[in-house]
Amino acid sequence: MTGAVVFSGERGTKAPEGSEKLLINLSGVTINGGLPEMAAANATVRARLSGKTISVAEIFNATADLENAYAQAGFVLARIVLPAQELRDGGRLRIEVIDGFVETVDTSKVPEPVRGRIAKITDPLVGQRSLRLPELERQLLLAGDTYGVALGSALAAGATPGGASLILQPEFRPVTGFFAFDNANSDELGPLTLSAGIEVNSPLNMGETFYGRFSGAPSGDNENNLGSVFSSDPRVRTLSVGTVFPLGLDGLTLNLELTDSRTAPDTLIAPSTSRFKRGSARLFYPFVRSRNRNISGQLTLDKQTDEQFLVAPSGGRAPIYKDNATVIRAAVDGFWLTEGGSAFEAGAVLSRGIDALGARTATEVGAGTPLSRQGADAEFTKLIVSGRLRQKINENFNFSLSGRAQTSFGDPLLTGEQFGIAGGQELSAFDAGTIKGDSGFVARAEVSAPRQANFGKTPLLISPYIFAAYGDVSLEQPTAQETADLSATSYGIGVEFNTLSKSNFRSATVRIEYARGTRDDDQPDNNRFSISSSFRF
């Protein structure tokens, strides 16, 4: 060409109209400000444009591809520009890499109770050069993990070249909660159970939460004067109170919780009551926090008491067993979302019972009240692993596969540490908690066909499904009345309703199911109609 190509230096990498007809031969390309981590991508652009006749449109396209390569590598704030210059044949092209950064974080729209904490979490982003997406995501997600917060954010141009203003737009609810019901328990324990919970978020402006939980059967006293939900011997009732406090600004939290659970089955034959109390201290830390991948760890200290009493006609109590255990638990959980939309979850919990803080070991029982299981001890080790896969089969059907397994490493376990496989999300044809063992496994597969519909003015996601589940549990040192190994299956159909709310805090789910269950011991097979529902606010 005999003329010159003039670049104005304006932002943007879109090729102007007609630029594909203008040809030029470049002797080379100079990339100013290129990041060392992107040396390969920078070299690719140099080779693509140098020493050959190309269209001016190709220069813009190569620049756009380079910016995309930076973004794919995580440098989402980096901008690639063609500075003002005049090029002739044989000239050398200049490309500028602007190492973008967060110039300011705008917290003006953050509610006062959580503003201080969110500002401190996001402050490290300000002024940080070569900021990658995982670092940006982590800080924003940690800020959004503040209790009662649903965080929205946006980027706006800053006042300096390459600078960006990060605008935070969170919703905050000082009080959140839920209520739920289900009929998963046996007739002797309900079967209807009502549950409710409430969280008071950041009353101290520290990002903490205080919570309470209740679940129980809405029943009155039976002929044995047992069962009233408000009495000391309810049919079934669990109360929990706790708090979660953040420790520092990197996601570490401390959870303190007290739980009291009591049951008094409605039966005239050998009526009994049981009480379970637990105090827990849990440390939680997110090692990896992003939209597509999360890995977290938790260390727990549980101090728990589990005891059962036989109720005499006169109302007196005779102890059947008593367990005092101190347990250290180490857990790791992971979540991965693939580019194809499949989601995979996995977790493991290693528990070790220790002789400390009032634990009642087998050697200390003597002629007193026995432990809950023959051969069991407060000193034990067990491991639980779990996993779940969710993915689309096609536009009309979804598939999920979940499973759990536990090993007691060949030792009998206290009743409270046994592995249960009967329940709404696994072997749902059986009463919750009725199939337990020291070791075992369970797996459940579902195929669903979600469809959107409207109930009045409420949009719904309706998901009819079919499912099949199989599980097996075994007991170490079983008594003559116990089954050493038990296998069971469950299969059936159901439908799940989910509200499609625009609110980040309100949701509702109703699940209705009919299941058929089989088992290979001397107990009868079972058919079960179940319903469960939960509502968050």
Q: Residue holding tokens 């659970």?
A: 261
Tokens of 194: 């009502």
What does the pLDDT look like over 356-387, one tens digit per residue? 999 999 999 988 899 999 999 999 999 999 99
Maximal CA-CA distance, the chain = 112
Q: Distance from CA of residue 13 to its chain's centroid?
A: 40
User: To the nearest 10°, the Cα dihedral for 180, 183, 185, 188?
Assistant: 120
DSSP states along 440-483: EEEEEEEEE--EEEEETTEEEEEEEEEEEEEEEEE-SS--TTS-
User: Distance between CA 109 and CA 169 in Å, rounded?
Assistant: 6
Which pLDDT score, from 0 to 100, does residue 12 have?
A: 66
DSSP 158: -
| pLDDT value for 410 | 96
Q: Is the pLDDT of residue 92 over 60?
A: yes
Question: pLDDT at residue 77 above 90?
Answer: yes
Structure tokens at 393: 């089969």
Q: Alpha-carbon distance 521 to 114, whole Å?
A: 56
At residue 225, the pLDDT reads 72
Integer CA distances (angstroms), 375 to 322, 336, 363, 405, in order = 14, 41, 11, 22
Q: What's the pTM?
A: 0.90
149 with 114: CB under 8 angstroms? yes
Q: Band the pLDDT of 15: cuts 50, 70, 90.
A: confident
Polymer length of the chain: 537
* Strand ranges across the sheet with 92-98: 28-32, 92-98, 79-81
Average pLDDT (11-22) is: 80
Dihedral, CA of residue 7, residue 11, residue 16 and residue 21, to nearest 10:
40
pLDDT tens digits, 460-471: 999 999 999 999
For residue 245, what pLDDT is reported?
98
The two structure tokens encoding residue 186: 């046996």
CB-side exposure of 250: number of CA atoms within 13 Å? 6
d(CA 333, CA 385): 10
Q: What pairs with residue 307 in β-bridges? A: 275, 322
For all residues of the chain together, what is the average pLDDT? Answer: 94
Residue type, 231: S
pLDDT of residue 133: 93
For residues 237 and 198, the answer to whether their CB atoms sit within 8 Å is no
Q: What DSSP assignment string belongs to 8-56? A: ---S--PPPTTGGG-EEE-SEEEEET--GGGHHHHHHHHHHHTTSEEEH
Query: Which structural domains are found in the chain, ordered by start?
Result: 5-98 (3.10.20.310), 101-171 (3.10.20), 418-537 (no CATH)
Counting Cβ atoms within 10 Å, is residue 18 exposed (0-12), middle (13-18) or buried (19+)? exposed
